[in-house]
């Protein structure tokens, strides 16, 4: 594959804000790096084939303070190139981008559609949208940036030949399909609460549905109205939880939490279950499962040299569900994520399938069907 610098014709540095954010090992949060104060470090971040955090805490935390949640970024350049290649933009295409961010992706799209094409980009955050407009204008890139909820699309300039999202979704919005021409392509990061996520490429046949296959591993921030949440039980609640142990080995628990192994499958079979992992110290790890809707929670306590303890709270037994999904993965021949596909039906139901849409291994992803869902 050609190097990303040869596949992306727009310089990245024109779109990176003067203040970016990096991990801070002292606080465990994120601190800002200023181009004015530390130009060498800022330049190093811009030139690397790595994502750059450009906003934390929805902009509430300003440079000089410690942030705790990345909320916008400029994606890894080689991944940007891969996603644009998957989109297969052609001269003259009308493209809708969901998630303007810095504007760099939109500028690369504009270059690919040519003089006769059109790029519309939606950004939910007003401050980010204004920054992107300034950067795009400075680069001479004619992109219409609209401050709006990207999950609703933008009917004013529909229909679109191509739609691309730069934030992850667990539900493919109905508006994206409705605003696409027959034969259009949708490229989006897609994942479950358990495993976020994969590069999903959908084709829109024109009958109100869309279907396509999953691909490589992607770690994108969620669109804001689909963010995942976790529970934080008190010590007293944990003391009163149902307790047990598991015979699963450390290797099996690794497989249950690794995208390339069983995690993607578990997410497809265990709905509304958010996975978090915390390394307590060199000898202890906590794997937690969360469903805030039902106030259900589970923790696996991994301790070197000891049995692995299980704690479960709430009406759902999340560990039992995840363990059963892992057993299915083993029995089904250890399917990798790229063997799965997704069909979004006319009524919005999300149906996942293994290998082919007509496979005997297909089911509705619970929680993504209007009015509820069904078990796998």
- Pairing relation of β-strands 160-165 and 94-98? parallel
User: 272-302: per-residue pLDDT in tens?
Assistant: 999 999 999 999 999 999 999 999 999 999 9
Report CA torsion sign: 303, 306, 308, 311: negative
Q: What's the pLDDT band for 56 if we cut at 50, 70, 90? A: very high
Residue-level pLDDT at 374: 34
Residue-level pLDDT at 373: 34
Q: How far apart are the first and last CA of the chain?
A: 38
Q: Give the helix/strand (H/E) hosting 351.
A: strand 350-354
User: 197-254: per-residue pLDDT in tens?
Assistant: 899 999 999 999 999 999 999 888 888 878 888 899 999 999 999 999 999 999 999 9
Decide yes or no: CATH 3.40.50.720 for domain 79-225.
no
What CA–CA distance (Å, rounded) separates 75 from 293?
Answer: 31
Q: What's the pLDDT band for 359 if we cut at 50, 70, 90? A: very high
* CATH number for the domain formed by residue range(s) 235-331: 3.30.160
User: 152-177: per-residue pLDDT in tens?
Assistant: 999 999 999 999 999 999 999 999 99
What CA–CA distance (Å, rounded) separates 8 from 18?
Answer: 21
Give the strands of the sheet with 94-98, arranged side by side: 144-147, 118-123, 94-98, 160-165, 180-190, 198-204, 210-213, 340-344, 350-354, 362-364
Share of the chain above pLDDT 70, in %: 97
* pLDDT higher than threshold 90 for residue 196: no
The rounded mean pLDDT for the chain is: 93
User: 14-26: per-residue pLDDT in tens?
Assistant: 999 999 999 999 9
- Tokens 């030139």 locate to 47
Q: Give the helix/strand (H/E) hosting 120.
A: strand 118-123
Residue-level pLDDT at 244: 96
> Mind telling me the catalytic residues?
75
Residue-level pLDDT at 222: 84
User: 90-137: per-residue pLDDT in tens?
Assistant: 999 999 999 999 999 999 999 999 999 999 999 999 999 999 999 999
Q: Could you tell me the residue ranges of all domains in the chain? A: 4-74, 79-225, 235-331
């Amino acid at each position: 594959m050609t190097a990303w610098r040869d596949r992306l014709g727009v310089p990245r540095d024109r779109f990176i804000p003067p203040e970016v954010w990096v991990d801070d090992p002292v606080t465990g949060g994120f601190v800002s790096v200023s181009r004015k104060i530390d130009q060498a470090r800022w330049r190093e971040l811009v030139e690397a084939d790595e994502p750059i955090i450009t906003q934390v805490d929805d902009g509430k935390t300003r440079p000089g303070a410690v942030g705790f949640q990345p909320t916008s970024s400029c994606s890894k350049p080689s991944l940007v190139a891969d996603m644009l290649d998957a989109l297969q933009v052609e001269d003259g295409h009308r493209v809708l981008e969901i998630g303007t961010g810095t504007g760099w992706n939109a500028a690369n799209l504009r270059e690919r559609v040519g003089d006769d094409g059109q790029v519309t980009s939606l950004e939910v955050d007003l401050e980010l949208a204004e920054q992107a407009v300034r950067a795009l204008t400075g680069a001479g890139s004619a992109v219409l940036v609209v401050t709006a909820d990207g999950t609703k699309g933008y009917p004013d300039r529909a229909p679109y030949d191509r739609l691309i999202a730069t934030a992850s979704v667990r539900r493919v919005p109905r508006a994206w399909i409705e605003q696409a021409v027959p034969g259009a392509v949708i490229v989006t990061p897609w994942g479950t609460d358990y495993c976020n996520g994969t590069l999903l490429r959908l084709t829109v046949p024109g009958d109100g549905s869309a279907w396509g296959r999953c691909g490589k591993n992607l770690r994108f921030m969620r669109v804001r109205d689909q963010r995942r949440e976790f529970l934080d039980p008190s010590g007293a609640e944990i003391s009163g939880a149902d307790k047990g142990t598991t015979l699963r080995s450390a290797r099996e628990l690794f497989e249950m939490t690794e995208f390339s192994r069983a995690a993607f499958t578990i997410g497809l079979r265990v709905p509304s279950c958010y996975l978090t992992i915390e390394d307590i110290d060199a000898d202890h790890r906590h794997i937690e499962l969360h469903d805030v809707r039902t106030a259900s929670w589970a923790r696996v306590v991994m301790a070197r040299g000891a049995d692995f303890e299980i704690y479960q709270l709430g009406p759902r037994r999340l560990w039992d569900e995840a363990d059963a999904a892992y057993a299915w993965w083993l029995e089904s021949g250890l399917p990798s994520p790229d063997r799965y596909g997704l069909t979004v039906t006319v009524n919005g139901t999300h149906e996942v399938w293994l290998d082919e849409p007509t496979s005997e291994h297909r089911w509705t992803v619970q929680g993504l069907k209007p009015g509820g869902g069904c078990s796998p």
